[in-house]
Structure 1
Amino acid sequence: MEISGVISALVIGTVVGALGRLVVPGRQHIGLLWTVVVGIAAALVGTAIARVAGLSDTSGADWTEWLAQVLLAALGVAALSRVNGLR
């Protein structure tokens, strides 16, 4: 993977993680680093799901892919926050 791919993955992961965190109501018990990690993972899995479902080859913006990524990030943030909140 080239450096531009790594940088774009970090930027997209940060945005997806932040959007996922905004979707989850209440206070989350995770830091910025975990939000970015969850966002990157959600972006990768959401893209894979969109490719398998045949939704990634559209003209224009891939809104369904973004929606899948944000929903996965929200689920990840909520799950991680619940685990950290129990401690």
Structure 2
Amino acid sequence: MFWNIVGWVIFGLIAGLVARALVPGKDDIGLVRTVLLGIAGSIVGGWLFGLLTVGVRGFEPAGWVGSVVGAVIVLVVYNRITGRKRRGARS
């Protein structure tokens, strides 16, 4: 059980860091949010993969590519909701 949690944290961290590198602009979301971003991305990626292949299977984790794609989607949505990274916005 402990190693499963550690695995998810490491997996989420890597997927979240890759997603942050792919989305332009600076992210000030910190390490914990980056891990949560990667974990949420894995769930979203698994859901999207299920929709595109064999239909809705519920919330299942995705592989590396699906996790990164899902994390990019989650990060873009997060930035839209919170108003971060708006181009041309005044400070």
- Regarding TM over 0.5, the answer is yes
User: In structure 2, what is the Cα distance between the partners aligned to 1:76 and 1:66?
Assistant: 15
- What is the CA-CA distance between 1:79 and the residue it aligns to? 2.1
Structure number with higher helix proportion = 1
The answer (yes or no) to whether the contact 2:44–2:71 under 8 Å persists in 1 is no
Conservation of the 8 A alpha-carbon contact between 2:41 and 2:73: no
Q: Which of residues 75, 79, 82 in structure 1 aligns to 2:73?
A: 75
Alignment of 1:54-65 (within 5 A): 65=63
Q: So what's the TM-score if we normalise by structure 1? A: 0.68
Asked whether 1:11 is paired with 2:10, we answer yes
Alignment-mate amino acid for residue 34 of structure 2:
T
User: How far off its partner does 1:29 sit?
Assistant: 4.0
Structure 2 segments unaligned to the other structure (5+ residues): 55-61, 87-91
Aligned-partner SS, 2:63: helix
* 1:17-56 mapped onto 2 (5 Å cutoff): 17-47=16-46, 49-50=48-49, 53=53
Once the two structures are aligned, what percentage of the paired residues are identical?
26
Counterpart Cα distance in 1 of 2:39 and 2:27: 18
Q: Counterpart of 1:66?
A: 64
* Structure 1 unaligned spans of 5+: 55-63
Superimposed CA distance per residue, residues 26-77 of structure 1 (whole angstroms, 9 cap, x where no aligned partner): 11242222111111111233345546737xxxxxxxxx93222101111212
Alpha-carbon RMSD across the aligned residues, in angstroms, is 2.5
| 1:49/1:78 CA distance change after superposition, 3 Å | closer
Count the aligned residue pairs. Answer: 76
